[in-house]
Structure 1
């Protein structure tokens, strides 16, 4: 078996990210939210430790969204009809995205609560 070059490996991975952005509304929504959170982090001058948590949450959501997209595509290819196991696979992958998104919201609340309240003059 011929090994693929590193350049081809990275190009294929980038094509996967682009596919997710082009075809999946939720990937675009979460990417938009990620940009807003990064802008908020810059605006409020969050610490390095806070950046680590925010970026971890952002990438966790985006990674799970892309994995969900991969699971859905593979399941649809293998079983185009509605099947209980196909539904379970898709629902479980979507559940992983939900948990990642809840984690991201919790991180956002912890990191941004004080700066936002201070900015609003409520603290």
Structure 2
């Protein structure tokens, strides 16, 4: 039981670090919160909520993984290296694609309700 509690504590520590240190993570959290508030305002159905929550989770998870990759790359390659830069760029691209997909899903769900 102690290991289980410790694992949650480590995860919360990671969330806290990422929220404090990564502007994009804060932006994605704020966007997710706005989507949730808007979802209540337009009375989403169960399927629409599922898509919105999955989209928010996808972007948050991708941002966390991107942050971990950036930290790892900085650890193993503290000096500039073109491959290290490429690794960081590719990880950031995954967040961009996820965020764009979340935006598209949000538009499909919210635009008809707002028109």
- TM class, shorter-length: over 0.9
More relative contact order in 1 or in 2 (CA 8 Å, sep 6+)?
2
Per-residue CA deviations over 1:29-81 (Å, capped at 9, x if unaligned) read: 00000000000000000110000000111000000001110000010011011
TM-score of the superposed pair, with normalisation by structure 1: 0.90
Unaligned runs of 5+ in 1: 118-123
In the other structure, the counterpart of 1:9 is 7
User: Which stretches of structure 1, 4 residues or more, deviate above 4 A after TM superposition?
Assistant: none
In the other structure, the counterpart of 2:53 is 55
TM-score of the superposed pair, with normalisation by structure 2: 0.96
Q: 1:79 aligns with which of 40, 61, 77?
A: 77
| Number of positions where the alignment pairs a residue of Structure 1 with one of Structure 2 | 114
RMSD of aligned Cα (Å):
0.8
**Which structure is higher in helix share?**
2
- Which protein has the larger Cα radius of gyration, Structure 1 or Structure 2? 1
Is the deviation greater in 28-37 or in 80-89? 80-89
1:116 and 1:76 map into 2 onto residues whose CA distance is 44
- 1:84 CA drift (Å): 1.6
